[in-house]
A and B are shown apart, each in its own frame.
Chain A
Protein backbone atom coordinates (compact mmCIF):
# COMPACT_ATOMS: atom_id res chain seq x y z
CA UNK A 1 0.00 0.00 0.00
CA UNK A 2 1.15 3.54 -0.74
CA UNK A 3 2.12 5.55 2.30
CA UNK A 4 3.95 8.58 3.61
CA UNK A 5 6.59 8.13 6.30
CA UNK A 6 8.57 10.50 8.46
CA UNK A 7 11.80 9.98 10.36
CA UNK A 8 12.80 10.27 13.04
CA UNK A 9 9.52 10.17 14.99
CA UNK A 10 11.15 11.90 17.96
CA UNK A 11 14.23 14.11 18.05
CA UNK A 12 15.93 16.10 20.78
CA UNK A 13 18.61 18.55 19.74
CA UNK A 14 20.46 21.58 21.05
CA UNK A 15 20.13 25.22 20.07
CA UNK A 16 22.30 26.11 17.10
CA UNK A 17 22.57 22.60 15.62
CA UNK A 18 21.49 21.77 12.11
CA UNK A 19 18.65 19.24 11.98
CA UNK A 20 17.11 17.45 9.01
CA UNK A 21 13.72 15.77 9.14
CA UNK A 22 12.97 13.20 6.45
CA UNK A 23 9.72 12.70 4.55
CA UNK A 24 9.19 9.90 2.05
CA UNK A 25 6.01 9.12 0.10
CA UNK A 26 5.20 6.23 -2.19
CA UNK A 27 1.99 7.74 -3.57
CA UNK A 28 3.95 9.21 -6.51
CA UNK A 29 2.36 12.56 -5.71
CA UNK A 30 3.80 15.68 -7.25
CA UNK A 31 2.86 17.97 -4.36
CA UNK A 32 4.51 17.76 -0.94
CA UNK A 33 4.15 20.00 2.10
CA UNK A 34 5.71 20.59 5.50
CA UNK A 35 3.63 21.91 8.42
CA UNK A 36 4.28 22.55 12.05
CA UNK A 37 1.59 22.10 14.67
CA UNK A 38 1.61 24.01 17.93
CA UNK A 39 -1.04 24.23 20.60
CA UNK A 40 -3.54 26.94 19.77
CA UNK A 41 -2.14 27.56 16.28
CA UNK A 42 -3.25 24.58 14.32
CA UNK A 43 -1.21 23.50 11.31
CA UNK A 44 0.96 26.19 9.73
CA UNK A 45 2.61 25.75 6.36
CA UNK A 46 6.41 25.95 6.31
CA UNK A 47 7.41 25.02 2.75
CA UNK A 48 5.86 23.21 -0.16
CA UNK A 49 6.85 21.74 -3.49
CA UNK A 50 4.83 21.11 -6.67
CA UNK A 51 7.44 18.87 -8.25
CA UNK A 52 11.10 18.01 -8.59
CA UNK A 53 13.35 21.07 -8.27
CA UNK A 54 10.38 23.21 -7.22
CA UNK A 55 10.19 24.69 -3.70
CA UNK A 56 8.10 27.51 -2.25
CA UNK A 57 7.92 29.34 1.05
CA UNK A 58 4.90 29.03 3.25
CA UNK A 59 3.51 31.08 6.08
CA UNK A 60 6.32 30.35 8.58
CA UNK A 61 9.41 29.58 6.49
CA UNK A 62 12.08 31.58 8.36
CA UNK A 63 14.81 29.29 9.69
CA UNK A 64 13.76 26.34 7.50
CA UNK A 65 14.77 25.09 4.07
CA UNK A 66 13.75 22.24 1.76
CA UNK A 67 15.05 20.68 -1.43
CA UNK A 68 13.30 18.36 -3.89
CA UNK A 69 15.64 16.16 -5.90
CA UNK A 70 13.12 13.38 -6.61
CA UNK A 71 9.37 12.80 -6.45
CA UNK A 72 9.41 10.69 -3.29
CA UNK A 73 11.35 12.84 -0.81
CA UNK A 74 11.13 16.33 0.66
CA UNK A 75 13.60 16.71 3.57
CA UNK A 76 13.14 19.68 5.90
CA UNK A 77 16.29 21.30 7.30
CA UNK A 78 16.52 23.59 10.29
CA UNK A 79 19.72 25.49 9.59
CA UNK A 80 20.37 26.52 13.21
CA UNK A 81 17.77 25.12 15.56
CA UNK A 82 16.09 27.52 17.99
CA UNK A 83 13.87 26.80 20.99
CA UNK A 84 10.98 28.45 19.14
CA UNK A 85 11.18 25.60 16.63
CA UNK A 86 10.19 23.03 19.24
CA UNK A 87 7.03 21.61 17.69
CA UNK A 88 5.42 18.64 15.98
CA UNK A 89 6.21 18.57 12.27
CA UNK A 90 3.95 16.96 9.69
CA UNK A 91 4.71 16.15 6.10
CA UNK A 92 1.87 15.78 3.60
CA UNK A 93 1.42 15.02 -0.06
CA UNK A 94 -1.35 15.47 -2.61
CA UNK A 95 -1.93 14.43 -6.19
CA UNK A 96 -3.90 17.34 -7.56
CA UNK A 97 -2.29 18.49 -10.83
CA UNK A 98 -3.50 22.04 -10.15
CA UNK A 99 -2.61 22.46 -6.48
CA UNK A 100 -5.11 24.33 -4.32
CA UNK A 101 -7.34 25.16 -7.27
CA UNK A 102 -9.42 22.00 -7.14
CA UNK A 103 -9.78 19.67 -4.20
CA UNK A 104 -6.22 18.98 -3.15
CA UNK A 105 -6.95 16.42 -0.46
CA UNK A 106 -3.76 15.99 1.52
CA UNK A 107 -2.37 12.76 2.95
CA UNK A 108 -0.37 13.27 6.12
CA UNK A 109 2.54 11.42 7.65
CA UNK A 110 2.62 10.39 11.32
CA UNK A 111 4.62 13.44 12.45
CA UNK A 112 7.99 14.15 14.05
CA UNK A 113 8.14 15.58 17.55
CA UNK A 114 11.17 17.89 17.73
CA UNK A 115 12.48 19.35 20.96
CA UNK A 116 15.17 22.02 20.87
CA UNK A 117 16.92 22.52 24.21
Chain B
Protein backbone atom coordinates (compact mmCIF):
# COMPACT_ATOMS: atom_id res chain seq x y z
CA UNK B 1 0.00 0.00 0.00
CA UNK B 2 1.04 3.61 -0.47
CA UNK B 3 2.96 5.07 2.41
CA UNK B 4 4.28 8.56 3.16
CA UNK B 5 6.65 9.04 6.08
CA UNK B 6 7.93 12.31 7.45
CA UNK B 7 11.20 11.89 9.31
CA UNK B 8 10.07 12.52 12.82
CA UNK B 9 7.15 13.85 14.74
CA UNK B 10 9.16 16.72 16.16
CA UNK B 11 12.35 18.58 15.34
CA UNK B 12 13.98 21.16 17.63
CA UNK B 13 16.70 23.49 16.37
CA UNK B 14 18.42 26.70 17.41
CA UNK B 15 17.59 30.00 15.77
CA UNK B 16 19.83 30.75 12.81
CA UNK B 17 20.47 27.10 11.96
CA UNK B 18 19.12 25.26 8.93
CA UNK B 19 16.14 23.00 9.52
CA UNK B 20 15.92 19.92 7.30
CA UNK B 21 12.70 17.94 7.10
CA UNK B 22 12.35 14.66 5.25
CA UNK B 23 9.47 13.14 3.33
CA UNK B 24 9.84 9.54 2.15
CA UNK B 25 7.31 7.57 0.18
CA UNK B 26 6.77 4.01 -1.05
CA UNK B 27 4.50 2.37 -3.63
CA UNK B 28 3.77 5.71 -5.23
CA UNK B 29 4.86 7.59 -8.35
CA UNK B 30 3.83 11.20 -7.75
CA UNK B 31 3.71 13.72 -10.56
CA UNK B 32 4.51 16.44 -8.04
CA UNK B 33 5.15 17.02 -4.37
CA UNK B 34 3.98 19.94 -2.25
CA UNK B 35 4.94 21.28 1.16
CA UNK B 36 2.44 22.97 3.46
CA UNK B 37 2.78 24.80 6.76
CA UNK B 38 0.19 24.33 9.48
CA UNK B 39 -0.07 26.44 12.63
CA UNK B 40 -2.03 25.22 15.70
CA UNK B 41 -5.77 25.57 15.20
CA UNK B 42 -5.41 26.60 11.55
CA UNK B 43 -5.66 24.93 8.18
CA UNK B 44 -2.54 24.07 6.14
CA UNK B 45 -1.06 26.80 3.94
CA UNK B 46 0.73 26.01 0.68
CA UNK B 47 4.47 26.80 0.57
CA UNK B 48 6.16 25.15 -2.39
CA UNK B 49 5.57 22.71 -5.20
CA UNK B 50 8.15 20.63 -7.06
CA UNK B 51 7.39 18.46 -10.09
CA UNK B 52 8.80 15.00 -10.77
CA UNK B 53 11.15 16.30 -13.45
CA UNK B 54 12.61 19.00 -11.16
CA UNK B 55 15.48 18.41 -8.77
CA UNK B 56 15.32 21.55 -6.66
CA UNK B 57 13.10 24.56 -6.00
CA UNK B 58 13.80 27.67 -3.93
CA UNK B 59 11.67 30.41 -2.46
CA UNK B 60 13.32 32.95 -0.21
CA UNK B 61 14.72 30.93 2.75
CA UNK B 62 13.01 27.73 1.64
CA UNK B 63 14.50 25.00 -0.52
CA UNK B 64 12.95 21.74 -1.64
CA UNK B 65 14.64 18.81 -3.34
CA UNK B 66 12.94 15.86 -4.98
CA UNK B 67 14.75 12.58 -5.68
CA UNK B 68 12.43 10.15 -7.48
CA UNK B 69 15.08 7.42 -7.35
CA UNK B 70 15.38 7.58 -3.57
CA UNK B 71 11.64 8.39 -3.34
CA UNK B 72 12.45 11.27 -1.05
CA UNK B 73 11.98 15.00 -0.70
CA UNK B 74 14.00 17.24 1.59
CA UNK B 75 12.63 20.57 2.82
CA UNK B 76 15.16 23.08 4.11
CA UNK B 77 14.59 26.32 6.01
CA UNK B 78 17.80 28.35 6.19
CA UNK B 79 18.52 30.98 8.85
CA UNK B 80 15.57 29.64 10.83
CA UNK B 81 13.57 31.95 13.08
CA UNK B 82 11.20 31.28 16.00
CA UNK B 83 8.38 32.39 13.66
CA UNK B 84 9.14 29.31 11.52
CA UNK B 85 7.89 27.09 14.36
CA UNK B 86 4.95 25.12 12.97
CA UNK B 87 4.02 21.71 11.62
CA UNK B 88 5.13 21.04 8.04
CA UNK B 89 3.25 18.60 5.84
CA UNK B 90 4.34 17.04 2.59
CA UNK B 91 1.73 16.04 0.03
CA UNK B 92 2.17 13.85 -3.03
CA UNK B 93 -0.10 14.27 -6.02
CA UNK B 94 -0.85 13.00 -9.49
CA UNK B 95 -2.91 10.31 -11.22
CA UNK B 96 -6.12 11.76 -9.84
CA UNK B 97 -4.91 11.38 -6.26
CA UNK B 98 -3.28 13.42 -3.54
CA UNK B 99 -2.00 12.15 -0.21
CA UNK B 100 -0.55 13.91 2.82
CA UNK B 101 2.08 12.87 5.30
CA UNK B 102 1.41 13.12 9.03
CA UNK B 103 3.69 16.14 9.38
CA UNK B 104 6.77 17.17 11.34
CA UNK B 105 6.45 19.69 14.16
CA UNK B 106 9.35 22.12 14.00
CA UNK B 107 10.33 24.24 17.00
CA UNK B 108 12.97 26.94 16.55
CA UNK B 109 14.40 28.07 19.87
CA UNK B 110 15.72 31.64 20.28
Contacts and interface: CB of A to CB of B under 8 A. Distances in A.
Interface of A: prevailing SS: loop
Interface stretch (B10-18, B61-69, B74-82, B98-106): B98-106
A43 B89 contact: yes
A42 B100 contact: yes
A42 B101 contact: yes
Interface in A83-117: 90, 92, 99-101, 103-111
Interface in B80-110: 89, 91, 93-103
Interface size class of B (residues with CB under 8 A): 20 to 34
B34 A105 contact: yes
B105 to A, nearest CB: 11
Given A41-B102, A43-B89, A108 B43 contact: yes
Interface size class of A (residues with CB under 8 A): 20 to 34
Contacts of A111: 41-43
A45 interface: yes
A95 to B, nearest CB: 12
Contacts of B91: 43
B101 to A, nearest CB: 5
B52 to A, nearest CB: 12
A43 B100 contact: yes
Interface string A35-53: 1000011111100000000
Nearest to B44: A108
Q: Which of A35, A40, A101, A106 has the most CB of B within 10 A?
A: A106
6 contacts: A35-B100, A42-B100, A42-B103, A44-B100, A104-B93, A111-B43
